[in-house]
Amino acid sequence: MLDYSPIDNGFEVRHEHEVLRVEQWGRDSVRVRAAQHRIPTDDVGALDALPPAAPGCRVSREGDVVTLVAGEITVRARLDSGDGKPAVMLSFHRSDDGFELLAEDREHFWWPGAHVFYGQRSGLYEIHQRFKAYAGERIYGLGQHQHGRLDHKGLVLDLVQRNTEVNIPFYLSSRGYGFLWNNPAVGRVEFAENGTRWVADAAPALDYWVTAGDSPAQIVSHYADAVGHAPQLPDWASGFWQCKLRYRSQEEILQVAREYRRRGLPLSVIVTDFFHWTAMGDYRFDPAEYPDPAAMMRELDELGVKLMVSIWPTVSPLSENYEEMSGRGLLVSSDQGVDFHQDIHDKQMPRSLPVAFYDPTNPRTRRFIWDTVKRNYFDLGVRVWWLDACEPELNPGHPKNLSFHAGPGAAVANIYPRDNARLFYEGQQAVGGGDTVLLCRSAWAGQAKYGAAVWSGDIPPTWESLAVQVRAGLSIGISGIPWWTTDIGGFHGGDPDDEAYRELYARWFAYGTFCPLFRLHGHREPRGELGSPISGGPNEVWSYGERCLEIARTHMELRERLRPYIAEVMAEASATGMPAMRTLFLDFPRDPAAWDVEDEFLLGSDLLVAPVTEPGVTSRPVYLPAGARWTEIHSGLTFEGGVTIETDAPQEYIPVFQREGGALAL
């Protein structure tokens, strides 16, 4: 028999040692928590505050079945006897017609049930959560991955942060619901044909959130309400960003910025990459390379260019701040062994040596780091931050050996990039620093509300990688990160003098023109000797020959014309949670063919972009969604939607279509 108790906005049931709490959590949404004995009071997940007020829910009980109706979603909790031990099981339905959206399923017919807690003699558990599998279901979102798939059905994904692999455990289902695994523990998810299983390797409790909606757009809107909306992208951020690994002095940065001005090329942001510091953890300019950073900032400001500064969470034992940070407990600790988790060849080092990480889950760490950054960068005028290696990038990759202020690494490691972004966003807001963009290499659920953008990490300069990034960008948009970009041309190499690579670069540049952020970066050939001070080959738009320069100029000017439209798209993303770069089915859910398209995307509602991701291509097929007329912006040809056409794609541009009747006019 179920031990049932009504609570505000929901109910609790108990069976044996398990307590299960179900409560309305936003419009058409519910949160489910389960634990042994009691629900923990500490919570480091993404659901840190109730969303805006929604119509109240209704709870009723009939025997061993408890039902909660919260708008468009209905939850039923029942005591299932199965063929063995009874277990509490949940199912989720559309409220209007009872259609089953999602249902828990047993791991085994006798034992265990759908909620499985394997004790670890530490107060933590290995937790399994099992759901039914449904034929034909498609799974979208789940952060950013390099497997090259838009639909994640049939895949197994590690729930861990790694360079290029961004773990955001939210997905949108083609069955009409969204699901958030609100657990930052290291683990995995299995979208198998015989069931879906989420696994947390070590956690105190089970915690997930489910929402229903009449459309995919409504589902992503509910999700943004639950975890937080992105702010409005600052106007300057929609322009062109120039970056390379690396500019080695303030004079080199200024020379590049001046050359953009001399050539009449638009430039919004220029970047100083790693090793601009005296030592990792000092968080200040090296005076040997930046003798007068205040003068540099004044000239960049006169040129209308923002400086983005690279900030790594690594702290060298040679840093002037190391002793204080270590003594005050501001660094990430170890479960076993010394408190060093990476090695790098930093300045002052004869070779690669161990370094520590600061702990952004600790409020005292956040205050200390921001005070240091403010004194050495912000007070000079820096307002844009590149939060590199913020997974954090471990060597060896053992997140379970970390110990944070927020808890054991196995239980909380995945929130590191989110709390790192929080450090800079809240710090800058507290001193009235205005809008910012935090360019992060990793993210977790809810990170967008801290002004976080994500780029796809240290990817290879290959055609295959370019194709993968199209899917990766669409996935992370569904996952709640509207500000996203890639390293145009890939990161690890690429020879600007090689004609074959120039073709890839030109195609990537055209694709990047229509990404939410427009950023050129890479470690080009000749890449030089590894270690400090490392610097790669040239990576400015004039580095790739005259033909590529004219292609770049044309696309940079097109981007400038698009910026008012992009501002509108970003305002929509902030208000509704709708990604800026989006799959076709987000706007055309009733067109079955739109769900099959993985190599095109919409930028807002009015532009359809068809990247070229193969060499030697001069045309490509493009599917135009039904329910609209589309005009290709280069040829001026107009087509009815609902058809696939073959359209020109010379090296000078990629096919781009404007929706007829939209607000955009090109």
Name, in order, each residue with C-beta under 8 angstroms of 349's C-beta and a sequence gap of 6 or more.
316, 318, 532
Question: How many angstroms separate the Cα of 371 from the Cα of each of 213, 389, 440?
Answer: 44, 21, 20
Give the other-Cβ count within 10 Å of 50's Cβ: 15
Q: How far apart are CA 465 and CA 457, in angstroms?
A: 11
Which of 458, 487, 540, 591 is the catalytic position? 458
The label of the residue with tokens 């952060």 reads 143
Q: C-alpha angle 50/52/57, rounded to 5°?
A: 75
Q: What residues pair up with 597 in beta bridges, in sequence order?
A: none
Name which of 30, 45, 147 is nearest 77 in CA terms: 30
Of the residues 388, 503, 540, 587, which is catalytic?
388
Please give the single-letter amino acid code of residue 256.
V
Task: Tell me how far apart the alpha carbons of residues 213 and 227 are, in angstroms, rounded to a whole number.
Answer: 17
Omega cis (within 30) before 112: yes
- State whether residue 557 is helix, strand or coil: helix
Torsion angles phi and psi, residue 269, rounded to 5: -140, 140
- Please identify which of the residues 273, 289, 391, 503 carries the catalytic annotation: 391
Whether 458 is catalytic? yes
Q: Which residues touch 10 (CB under 8 Å, ≥6 apart)?
A: 21, 22, 23, 24, 30, 57, 59, 68
Distance of alpha carbon 13 from alpha carbon 5, whole angstroms:
6
Alpha-carbon distance of 472 to 486, in angstroms, equals 10
Q: Determine the Cα–Cα distance for residues 399 and 653; give it in Å rounded to an integer.
A: 44
The answer to whether 414 and 45 are in contact (CB under 8 A) is no
Contacts of 434 (CB under 8 A, 6+ apart): 234, 383, 428
| CA dihedral for 337, 339, 344, 345, sign (positive or negative) | negative
Q: In the Cβ-directed half-sphere of 370, how many Cα atoms lie within 13 Å?
A: 22
**Closest to 139 (Cα-Cα) out of 176, 188, 105:** 176
C-alpha 226: how far from its chain's center? 16
CA distance 101 to 89: 14
The structure tokens listed for 276 are: 């601009």
In the chain, the amino acid numbered 310 is S
Q: Tell me the two tokens of residue 40.
A: 């923990």
Q: Which residues pair with 24 in a beta bridge?
A: 30
Residue 255: what residue type? Answer: Q
- What are the catalytic residues? 388, 391, 458
